[in-house]
Chain A
Amino acid sequence: MNKLAETIGRLGGVNLLPVALAAIAFVLIGAPSSWVTLTVAGLSMGMMVFLMASGLSLVFGLMDVMNFGHSAFISFGAFVAASVLAALGGWLDSDSVLLATAALGLALLAAISFGLAAGLFFETVIIRPVYRDHLRQILITMGALIVSEQVILAVWGGTPFTVPRPSFLDGAWIIGDVSIEIYRVFAFGIGAVVFSGLLLLLNRTRVGLLIRAGVENREMVESLGFKINRLFIGVFMLGSALAALGGAMWAGYETIITPALGGEMMIVVFIVVIIGGLGSIEGTLLGAIIVGLTANYVGYLAPKMALASNMILMMAILMWRPSGLRPAVK
């Protein structure tokens, strides 16, 4: 038994979980083409959830702040990006791929910029007065979330908002019996780029070193002469911007969005952060991929269990590893 555990550990340990999940699903689904389609969909969903969850994980881990208002950044990111795309509809409709790409780039940039600014405001005005007080954090961030949803209702209205997207991201690649949606591949690519960027930031820069140290022991970081509050602001802004980017990507994926989008995604985001392990980017990615795959496989195999599947997954993982799959602090 020990030898088996050692061998699994050498091969990648918990990182093999998505592979194991995919292998089990392959047997249960039976049809390879459906399995490939579901796997691509799961990976793509996982990457978009990773974008939304990575910031929350860092904020949770570093600042010990339970920010239920995080989903507001997801919603605003979606609506800001959708509004920019709608305003640049002429560019999207033109034959020029360059103009369509520019419209998409501007939409994502607008969502990120909004996330940065909103994060600065939220941290300074809402979060800072309630550091170290979880009950007040929950109450005030829930309050802020409700207010944010009402602001979205007031600005964009309650009717579903159609999100235009560039024609080059529409449609699917058909390979044999397998259909792969182009937007899903694009979303996976964006997620992979952001993940690589975050890894570089955390592992190759002094700021990243400080963030990793701060996740473990904030007092000690201060005792080494670093003002942790400045780090908090930076991380909170980064987390908000990533959530907004995730929201923008999700809007393009869904193509129709409502003000409830953030709230709906928040449960999944919290599940990912908890099963991945607080403060760990690698853990968040792992958790997001597992959640994405599970949602798609179970949605196909037992649709009525789709909602419950991720909750069951979270409970099972927490019973096995109470600190999550890859916590930042050992």
Chain B
Amino acid sequence: MTLLRVHDMKTDIGQYAVLHGITFDVPEGGVFVLLGRNGAGKTTTLRSIMGLWRPSPGSVTFQGDDIAGMGTADIARKGIAYVPENMGIFGGLTVEENLILATAKGKFEPKRLQRIYDLFPALEKFWSKQAWSLSGGQKQMLAVARAIIEPRALILIDEPTKGLAPSIVAAMGEAFREIAQTTTILLVEQNFNFARSLGRDMAVIEDGRVVHSGSMADFVADTDLQGQLLGLSA
């Protein structure tokens, strides 16, 4: 079943047309990966879905509802969480305050909090620390934890492995696998090895358009296509 449908989405930023007609369907469950070179339009795609840039009317449907004209807060309330490329954590707030802000009623549901502790033990350890004092990997953990502290149907995650040490990337991969069992993830990722280990379905964006979509397994098997679309050598 399709959870998110993006159809012929066009987005202008100022006087520049950045997305020229993005089309892909994200099925419910698992990890859907958006691939593409730098500047292809992946981040703009996520931001447009989230309402942070205004996409063309009628081009984004979530759980059957048109969300293309909605405000960001309303989109979030429909069950979409967003983890931006810069993580978007609040440095002056403690780890606890960052997380409690993401709860609907201002208090934690014990089971979900325990899940966060299990996935990211460092956050429990630094619970009362201000977020600016965390390492890059811990900040990324906090950003992801904030997205799952409440039940969500879909999480948009933008380049979560950027600048992280390999051991942290591996831990992040494990966490995403666990999260994807209950929540759909739409992942933008430049690290192809990381993406292929998680993705069930995928699309490649080039110059503001989707130039390929299909299963990750098929894409991984087609090294020529990888080379053509991503510049990867066999």
Interface of A with B (CB < 8 Å)?
Answer: 206, 209-210, 212-213, 215-217, 219-228, 328-330
Contacts and interface: CB of A to CB of B under 8 A. Distances in A.
Given A209-B97, A222-B72, 8 more contacts: A209-B101, A213-B90, A216-B92, A220-B90, A222-B71, A222-B76, A228-B73, A330-B132
Contact of B73 (A215, A216, A226, A329): A226
8 contacts: A219-B52, A219-B72, A220-B84, A222-B52, A223-B50, A223-B76, A227-B71, A329-B92
A226 B92 CA distance: 19
Given A206-B106, A223-B82, A224-B102, A212 B92 contact: yes
A223 B52 contact: yes
B131 to A, nearest CB: 9
B129 to A, nearest CB: 13
Nearest to A279: B92
Contacts, number: 62
B100 interface: yes
Contact of B77 (A212, A221, A225): A225
B90 A330 contact: no
Given A209-B100, A209-B101, A223 B88 contact: yes
A222 B88 CA distance: 11
A222 B52 CA distance: 9
Contact of B90 (A217, A222, A226, A228): A217
Contact of A209 (B52, B82, B93, B104): B93
A210 B102 CA distance: 10
B91 interface: yes
Contacts of B88: 217, 219-220, 223
Given A219-B52, A330-B132, A225 B76 contact: yes
B189 to A, nearest CB: 19
Nearest to A222: B72
Contacts of B77: 225
Interface string B77-106: 100011010001111110001001110101
Main secondary structure of the interface of A (DSSP, over half): helix
Contacts of B130: 330
B52 A227 contact: no
B92 A328 contact: yes
Nearest to B102: A224
A212 B50 contact: no
Contacts of B50: 223
Contacts of B101: 206, 209-210, 213, 221, 224
A204 B183 CA distance: 32
Nearest to A225: B76
B93 A213 contact: yes
Contacts of A225: 73, 76-77, 104
B116 to A, nearest CB: 16
B72 to A, nearest CB: 4
Contacts of A328: 92
Contacts of B71: 222, 227
A255 to B, nearest CB: 40
Nearest to A224: B102
Contacts of A329: 91-92
A199 to B, nearest CB: 14
Interface string B49-86: 01010000000000000000001110011000110100
A330 B90 CA distance: 10
- 7 smallest CB-CB distances across A and B, nearest first, come from A225-B76, A220-B88, A222-B72, A330-B132, A223-B82, A213-B90, A227-B73
A224 B98 CA distance: 11
A212 B90 contact: yes
A147 B72 CA distance: 36
